[in-house]
Amino acid sequence: MKLHRTGALGAVMVVAGLVACGEDEPMAPEPDPTGSVEVNTTTTGASLDDSYMASVAGGTAQAVGGNSVVVFSDVATGAQTVELTDVAANCTVAGDNPRTVTVPDGATVSTEFEVSCLQMADNQLLITSDRTGNDDIFLTNVDGSNPVNLTDNPAIDAYGAFSPDGTRFLFTSDRSGDLDLYVAFIDGTGVTNLTDLPGNDLVGAWSPDGTRIAFASQRSGDYEIWVMDADGSNPVQLTDDGVINQTVSWSPDGTRIAYASEVTGDYEIWVMNADGTGHTNLTNEPGGTDGFPAWSPDGTTILFSSDRDGNNEVYAMDPDGSNQVNLTNNVAYDGYPNWSPDGTEIAFTSDRDGDYDVYRMTSAGVGATRVTDTTDAELAGPPQGWR
């Protein structure tokens, strides 16, 4: 009997011991609360962007379409940052980006990014044409097809220049009385006078980052080179030679500006730093007229027009003025050169077939092909007339 009782007591003690051990074991931690974030996108306008990257709390980004949705799971609750990136330059996100959302426990919070896109030039030309009876800016395909009159104004509108992002264009017009620089969207809307001051302002060129515009202005007396912000504010005079300086082109890195000047008595191509210092004569060809410089996209070559051989031709040279080469070599007039965006071709104006029309050739000056074919005068660019 004692053995039996002892055994029973021992069994009870073992069970008690087991229970005691169980009470001493640590409890498993509760999982951190999480929820989900749903990111919606809607894209409207022209030249639409069809793909973005979305991220939450700085984590791994996920691709999302232009009008689509992506869901991020297991996101920590509370305030989290949501961002939409890889948005095309011609598109703008409405509202805050990045923005903050509050993630609920076990549920989903939704946020929508509304993206609007502007029409953007895509391998197209800006040409000046008098086919309507006066000079207007036309947007055409590079083969001359589908011309669209962007200005359609009884005034003179000339010298169109694409903005670097391809959504706007700069042009010269006398619609306000004097020659002024105007900007408009690439569909011709939103025309704005940037230089509404006494004196002529003409033939502008965008800086590579699109924040500044170089141009020639008569506001201080003679035509001098000026620079202003892209909205027309903060004009700064760069040259002060008391002679005509005009037709500008920026280097691709934005540090220098090429321009035409008659400071030596003849028109020559000069270059200066973007702050107006360090002026250097590149062509130095007495007796000729050199103008309309156009810096290549890779920065290795400057095109220009010159009549040094008896008639106007398109020339190329290195940025230091060396290796000046006649690219057109034609008895007709050839001038107003523009580079293709990839630097492999050149658009220019020529009357080799009787009328002034726009042509294309390779960067080596071969294979000239007629782009426009009208009885009216057609002018390419310059110098940012192809994008």
- The whole-angstrom separation of Cα 119 and Cα 30 is 53
- pLDDT class for 377, splitting at 50, 70, 90? confident
- For residue 78, list its beta bridge partners: 103
pLDDT of 319 over the 50 cut = yes
- 152, 105: one domain: no
Residue 248 lies in a domain: yes
Asked, as a colleague might, if the bond just before 341 is cis with ω within 30 of 0, I would say no
| Domain coverage including residue 64 | 34-117
* Contact criterion met (CB below 8 Å) for 282 and 320: yes
- The whole-angstrom separation of Cα 355 and Cα 372 is 10
Q: What is the mean pLDDT of residues 48-71?
A: 94
- The whole-angstrom separation of Cα 127 and Cα 222 is 28
- 93, 148: one domain: no
CATH, residue 129: 2.120.10.30
- The whole-angstrom separation of Cα 175 and Cα 194 is 13
Among candidate residues 117, 139, 161, the one where a domain is terminated = 117
Among candidate residues 57, 82, 117, the one where a domain is terminated = 117
DSSP three-state, residue 21: helix
- pLDDT class for 1, splitting at 50, 70, 90? very low
Helix (H) or strand (E) holding 20: helix 2-24
pLDDT of 301 over the 50 cut = yes
The residue behind tokens 């800086």 is 207
pLDDT of 19 over the 90 cut = no
- 286, 330: one domain: yes
Residue 9 lies in a domain: no
Residue 28 lies in a domain: no
- 352, 241: one domain: yes
Residue 171 lies in a domain: yes
Nearest to 260 by CA among 302, 199, 210, 322: 302
- 129, 246: one domain: yes
- pLDDT class for 169, splitting at 50, 70, 90? very high
- The whole-angstrom separation of Cα 261 and Cα 119 is 36
What tokens were used for 316?
């190329």
> pLDDT tens-digit profile of 215-226?
999 998 899 999
Among candidate residues 69, 98, 117, the one where a domain is terminated = 117
Alpha carbon separation from 105 to 31, 59, 70, 71 (Å, rounded): 11, 19, 19, 15
- 250, 136: one domain: yes
Alpha carbon separation from 271 to 248, 295, 309, 313 (Å, rounded): 9, 11, 23, 20
Residue 217 lies in a domain: yes
- The whole-angstrom separation of Cα 55 and Cα 12 is 60
**Tell me, what DSSP letter sits at residue 341?**
T
Helix (H) or strand (E) holding 247: strand 245-250
- 155, 79: one domain: no
- 265, 324: one domain: yes
Helix (H) or strand (E) holding 169: strand 168-173
pLDDT of amino acid 141: 95
- Over the range 67-100, which residues count as b (16 or more CB within 10 Å of their CB) and which as e? ebebebeebebeebebbbeebbebbebeeeeeee
Name the domain count of the chain: 2
Strand pairing category for 108-117 and 34-45: parallel
> pLDDT tens-digit profile of 255-275?
999 999 999 999 999 999 999
- 107, 155: one domain: no
Residue 317 lies in a domain: yes
The percentage of the chain sitting over the pLDDT mark of 70, rounded to a whole number, equals: 93
Within 8 A by CB and 6+ apart from 18, the residues are: none
- 251, 229: one domain: yes
pLDDT of 344 over the 50 cut = yes
- pLDDT class for 23, splitting at 50, 70, 90? low
Residue 10 lies in a domain: no
CATH, residue 101: 2.60.40.10
Lowest-pLDDT range of 16-30, 163-177, 204-218, 283-297: 16-30
- 296, 359: one domain: yes
- pLDDT class for 89, splitting at 50, 70, 90? confident
Residue 387 lies in a domain: no
pLDDT of amino acid 27: 72
Residue-averaged pLDDT of the chain: 91
pLDDT of amino acid 24: 56
- 267, 158: one domain: yes
- DSSP states along 31-53: PPPEEEEEEEEEEEESS---EEE
